[in-house]
Amino acid sequence: MTPVGLHYTLSHFDVPDLDENSYRLTIGQREISLAELKAMPSKTQRVTLECAGNGRAGFAPRYPSMPWTHGGVGTAQWTGVALKDVLGKVPEAIKEIAFFGADRGFDSGVEHHFGRSLGVADAMRDEVLLAWAMNGRPLAPQHGAPLRLVVPGWFGMASVKWLTRIELLEQSFDGYQQVVGYRYTKRRGEPGTPVRHAKVKSLMAPPGMPDWYTGRRLVSQGSIELEGRAWSGAGVAVARVELAVDGKWRAAELEAPAERFAWQRWRASWDALRGEHELACRASDAAGAVQPLEPDWNVGGMGNNAVQRVQVSVR
């Protein structure tokens, strides 16, 4: 679990100041208060959330957006009501469900509320929540207070914060963040493919102490217990994690997930010998996806799940 103060946060515009007492969620013609939502049967789920831009700093050239290295991921306990219980039966003609935040701003000259959509089947899944609490406390302003969507298994952009409006659409949603913002494209302006589920990834807690500018780790020689986390998207489990020391891969020990949408712990021991070394970790998921050794570049700097490499000086 990631404490709230250590969980990454990504907001495209300003954090809106919403009062939970006067707050209303608008669904078509319907308005619902927070108290009404909280009176419904609620559930709590442990979910790993990763920004689609996590790893963007590993791309060259890099899109001038959030330059994440590896910090854009965290795991929290989200409490709320299942979206499908709030929506009830969705008419046959409905194709997509769009979610809008209270935040508003510009991107590439286009003014809009942050908005994203899901196909009806994706939106009606049991695990999709309208959440008002994170790690047992009311949502913090930066995490979407007083109510947000949580879409487990998808990259973070799907989990719309400061959720104030839901629309049932008979056609595809054409909002900026859907058709322009979150796409994998090789050239600016081309439609590319939509960014959807998270991809298989592993990270290690770097051993020893860091050197401030280079990030190189300083470690004392001897046996070192390495540990990290691994996860994938769409509720697919991680099947295997490997550790490489100076390019030689071997299996790490992998724990089962605490819950279907939460990351898994892995461990490996390393007999650190004096000198300069490179550590790397690589996960494979149950659907057969494997982390690539090199980043697969795209314009927006999305979905970089290349293996993490850590440079270590052993003294």
Name residues contacting Mo ion, limited to 44-63 (CB under 5 A): 51
For residue 123, report the phi and psi dihedrals to the nearest 5 degrees.
Answer: -70, -30
Does 301 bind Mo ion (CB under 5 A)? Our answer is no
CA angle in degrees (0–180, nearest 5) for 27-31-36: 110
Does 68 bind ligand MTE (CB under 6 A)? Our answer is no
- Residue 12 binds which one of ligand MTE, Mo ion, none, with CB within 5 to 8 A depending on kind? ligand MTE
Member of 77, 79, 159, 291 binding ligand MTE (CB under 6 A)? 159
* Residue 314 beta carbon to ligand MTE: minimum distance, rounded to whole angstroms: 35
For residue 140, report the phi and psi dihedrals to the nearest 5 degrees.
Answer: -75, 155
**Nearest of 157, 78, 65 to residue 118 by alpha carbon:** 157
**In this structure, are residues 177 and 51 in contact, taking their beta carbons and an 8 Å threshold?**
no
For residue 143, report the phi and psi dihedrals to the nearest 5 degrees.
Answer: -100, 10
Does 56 bind ligand MTE (CB under 6 A)? Our answer is no
* CA–CA distance, 78 with 25 (Å, rounded to integer): 19
Nearer CB in complex with Mo ion: 181/206 = 181
Member of 4, 9, 43, 168 binding ligand MTE (CB under 6 A)? 9
Name residues contacting ligand MTE, limited to 169-208 (CB under 6 A): none
Does 37 bind ligand MTE (CB under 6 A)? Our answer is no
For 45, the 3-state DSSP assignment is strand
Does 156 bind Mo ion (CB under 5 A)? Our answer is yes
Contacts with ligand MTE, 75-114, as mask; x by CB under 6 A:
--------------------------x-x----------x
* CA–CA distance, 293 with 305 (Å, rounded to integer): 9
Q: Is the peptide bond before 146 cis (omega within 30 degrees of 0)?
A: yes
* CA–CA distance, 165 with 132 (Å, rounded to integer): 15
Nearer CB in complex with ligand MTE: 142/313 = 142
Residue for token pair 């954090």 = 15
* CA–CA distance, 183 with 163 (Å, rounded to integer): 22
Does 10 bind Mo ion (CB under 5 A)? Our answer is yes
Member of 83, 98, 160, 245 binding ligand MTE (CB under 6 A)? 160
Dihedral of CA 16/20/22/25: which sign?
positive
Instruction: Specify the stretch interacting with ligand MTE by CB under 6 A; choose among 33-41, 117-125, 157-165, 257-265.
Output: 157-165
* Residue 153 beta carbon to Mo ion: minimum distance, rounded to whole angstroms: 15
Binding site for ligand MTE (CB under 6 A): 7-12, 49, 51, 101, 103, 114, 142-144, 156-157, 159-162
Binding site for Mo ion (CB under 5 A): 10, 51, 156-157
